[in-house]
């Protein structure tokens, strides 16, 4: 993939922002995903996570979305939200994969608990997603 110049990124952001405002539901979801990837590459993890959360609220939150959120939260140093996102992703995975993913999420949560006074992260609930 060619490296884009800063001006090209800004033009892309402007075009996708217009699509988010004027496009149909499917186009808005795709535009938010593309923008999330662009923001992640730029190191703007909170903006990327916000866009993915909007997609989850729009009904487009599957395993890949929540695994992506997990990666973004880890990049921000927020292990608690990362573990919650991993647990949410496990709900969407096939049973065999889900078992392995849940074990992995439990191991991460145990590591977090060792350094966090014994409080387990709560699962993601609709109120966690901003309106």
pLDDT digits (tens, 9 = 90+) for 81-130: 999 999 998 888 776 666 666 677 667 666 666 655 444 445 555 554 44
- Mean pLDDT over residues 69-87, rounded? 93
Residues ≥6 apart with Cβ < 8 Å to 92: 62, 63, 66
* Rounded CA separation 69/131 (Å): 17
Reference 75, options 34, 51, 40, 111; nearest CA is: 40
pLDDT at res. 3: 44
Over the stretch 30-61, which tens digit does the pLDDT of each residue have? Answer: 999 999 999 999 999 999 999 999 999 999 88
Please write the tens of the pLDDT for every residue from 1-39.
344 445 668 888 899 999 999 989 999 999 999 999 999
Q: Is the whole-model pTM more than 0.75?
A: no
Closest CA to 56 of 80, 34, 89, 103: 89
């Amino acid at each position: 993939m060619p490296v884009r110049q800063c001006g090209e990124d800004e033009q892309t952001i402007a075009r996708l922002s217009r699509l988010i405002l004027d496009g149909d539901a499917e186009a808005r979801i795709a535009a938010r995903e593309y923008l999330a990837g662009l923001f992640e590459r730029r190191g703007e993890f909170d903006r990327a996570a916000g866009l993915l959360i909007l997609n989850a609220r729009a009904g487009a939150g599957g395993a890949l979305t929540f695994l992506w959120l997990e990666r973004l939260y880890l990049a921000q140093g927020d292990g608690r939200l990362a573990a919650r996102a991993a647990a949410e992703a496990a709900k969407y995975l096939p049973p065999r994969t889900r078992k392995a993913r849940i074990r992995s999420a439990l191991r991460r949560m145990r590591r977090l608990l060792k350094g966090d006074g014994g409080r387990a992260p709560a699962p993601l609930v609709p109120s966690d997603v901003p309106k």
